């Protein structure tokens, strides 16, 4: 469901209206008074950005010294409303030289009214791309004297940009060396019980691209996802090649992706923006390859001593390695003294977080380093409750490894001039919430 905003207000910190625009007649003119009395003049201003007063809902956000308030009288998409506010502020900043505050609004109220008429129609958000809007709203904003941002150059070929579907890319780009950089970055989320059973495990990933291509290229990306391979085999009337396939969940794409073609052919095809952007996000819940296995053994010897033994096994290939591995083993607050023995890396006691911190700068694959620690505790009479063991936490980064098994099968670049391109693909797996109960 879209926003369907009835009104939008720009207020300063005192509650004075700087600019307002009414898009529908289903709310009264005293809506801003209700916002001042029930929200601004109470202690609930910073608790929740969504409030319902009477039959209307107020979505508000503070940017610098300005409150932007959207009033709706019906059920609306809150996330879409805040996304509209963020994009609108970015648009205003592009006109005002990077500044958005009370002074910038007072100096550019005529331009803001003109922009508000273009970016929202009858309460529904429209195009908020600065590159496209600057083609037919050519008025320059009053720039702040403290702004050092250069004035944006006009985008050529106005007809194509306004009526076409590639508003995110301008024509006429020329590079001496045409390159495409593609990064698959994944975060592993794991919660394991003290008995070694997996309680929760999933992978969230994103595909980041950096394109330096001339002209208007058309890119086609092939992954080893199950649905895409099955669709490809149907179209080509031949069986799929053997190999691991994965099932992608909760996939979201950049606006440049041709969704019609993806729905019909399950192919990720797109005309990329120039420079760096996020092509897609996804999540994997089945068949996750955990990069590490942690085997902890913690023994409490009376009230004054503990023995901690931790073995960490890397299950990825022997030719690969992890970087910046950090294992945090919680200990009681009354820890007084520690001694360590490690087969790799360094270990120390961090009293600020009540943890034994074991760091391994470079962790090769198919290895099993261990850490043994003796912990001496201060015996206190007041401490009668048994120690509740928090989970062991782990941080790492494994280049050229994906926990989901996602792989790029091909990356094709087509452009009418037929130039040669260089494609670079990199895989990175990081720790999201990697916890092992002990």
How far is 250 from 53, CA to CA, in rounded Å?
34
All residue ranges of the chain with pLDDT < 50 are 1, 147-163, 165, 237, 239, 242
Query: Length of the chain in residues, anyone?
Result: 438
Instruction: Spell out the residues 6+ positions from residue 296 whose beta carbon is closer than 8 angstroms to its own.
Output: 308, 309, 310, 311, 329, 392, 436, 438
Same fold, 179-287+403-433 and 292-399: yes
How far is 292 from 315, CA to CA, in rounded Å?
6
Instruction: Give residue 385's pLDDT.
Output: 64
Its sign, for the CA torsion 73, 79, 83, 86, is positive
How far is 426 from 395, CA to CA, in rounded Å?
20
State the DSSP H helix or E strand holding residue 188, giving kind and residue range, or none if neither: strand 179-192
Its sign, for the CA torsion 401, 404, 407, 412, is negative
CATH number assigned to the domain covering 179-287+403-433: 2.60.40.1170
Instruction: Give residue 75's pLDDT.
Output: 79
Question: Contact, 385 vs 323, CB < 8 A?
Answer: no
**Domain covering 292-399: architecture:** Sandwich (2.60)
How far is 69 from 351, CA to CA, in rounded Å?
45
Instruction: Give residue 168's pLDDT.
Output: 80
How far is 107 from 89, CA to CA, in rounded Å?
15
Kindly give the interhelix angle for 78-96 and 109-119, rounded to the nearest 10 degrees. 140
Instruction: Give residue 279's pLDDT.
Output: 94
What pTM does this model have? 0.69
36-90, pLDDT tens digit by residue? 887 777 766 667 888 887 778 888 888 888 888 888 887 778 888 888 888 899 8
What is the DSSP-derived secondary structure letter of residue 108? T
Q: Which CATH class is domain 7-134?
A: alpha beta
Instruction: Give residue 393's pLDDT.
Output: 95
Domain ranges across the chain: 7-134, 179-287+403-433, 292-399
């Amino acid at each position: 469901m879209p926003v369907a905003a009835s009104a939008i207000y720009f207020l300063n910190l005192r509650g004075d209206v700087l600019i307002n625009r009414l898009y529908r007649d289903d709310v009264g003119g005293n809506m801003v008074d209700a916002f001042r009395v029930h929200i601004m003049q109470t202690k609930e201003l910073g608790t929740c950005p969504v409030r319902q007063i009477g039959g209307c809902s107020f979505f508000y956000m503070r940017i610098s010294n300005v409150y932007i308030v959207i009033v709706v009288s019906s059920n609306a998409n809150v996330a879409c409303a805040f996304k509209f506010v963020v994009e609108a502020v970015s648009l205003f900043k592009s006109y005002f030289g990077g500044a958005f505050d009370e002074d910038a609004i007072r100096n550019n109220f005529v331009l803001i009214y003109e922009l508000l008429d273009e970016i929202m129609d009858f309460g529904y958000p429209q195009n908020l791309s600065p590159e496209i809007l600057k083609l037919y709203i050519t008025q320059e904003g009053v720039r702040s004297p403290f702004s050092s941002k250069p004035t944006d150059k006009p985008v050529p070929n106005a007809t194509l940009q306004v009526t076409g579907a590639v508003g995110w890319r301008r024509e006429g780009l020329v590079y001496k060396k045409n390159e495409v950089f593609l990064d698959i970055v994944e975060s592993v989320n794991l919660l394991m019980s003290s008995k070694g059973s997996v309680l929760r495990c999933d992978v969230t990933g994103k595909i980041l691209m950096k394109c330096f291509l001339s002209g208007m290229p058309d890119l086609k990306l092939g992954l080893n996802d199950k649905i895409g391979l099955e669709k490809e085999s149907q179209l080509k009337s031949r069986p799929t090649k053997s190999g691991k396939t994965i099932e992608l969940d909760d996939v979201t794409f950049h606006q440049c992706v041709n969704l019609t073609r993806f729905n019909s052919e399950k192919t990720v095809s797109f005309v990329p923006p120039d420079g760096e952007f996020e092509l897609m996000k996804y999540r994997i819940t089945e068949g996750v390859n955990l990069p590490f296995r942690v085997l902890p053994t913690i023994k409490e010897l009376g009230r004054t001593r503990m023995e901690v033994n931790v073995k960490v096994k890397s299950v990825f290939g022997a030719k690969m390695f992890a970087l910046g591995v950090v294992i945090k083993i919680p200990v009681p607050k009354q820890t007084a003294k520690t001694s360590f023995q490690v087969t790799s890396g360094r270990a120390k006691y961090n009293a600020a977080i009540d943890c034994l911190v074991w760091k391994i700068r470079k962790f090769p694959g198919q290895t099993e380093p261990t850490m043994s620690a003796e912990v001496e505790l201060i015996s206190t009479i007041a401490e009668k409750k048994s120690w509740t063991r928090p989970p062991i936490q782990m941080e790492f980064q494994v280049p050229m490894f994906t926990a989901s098994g996602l792989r790029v099968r091909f990356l094709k670049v087509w452009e009418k001039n037929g130039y040669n391109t260089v494609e670079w693909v990199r895989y990175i797996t990081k720790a999201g919430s990697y916890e092992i109960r002990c």
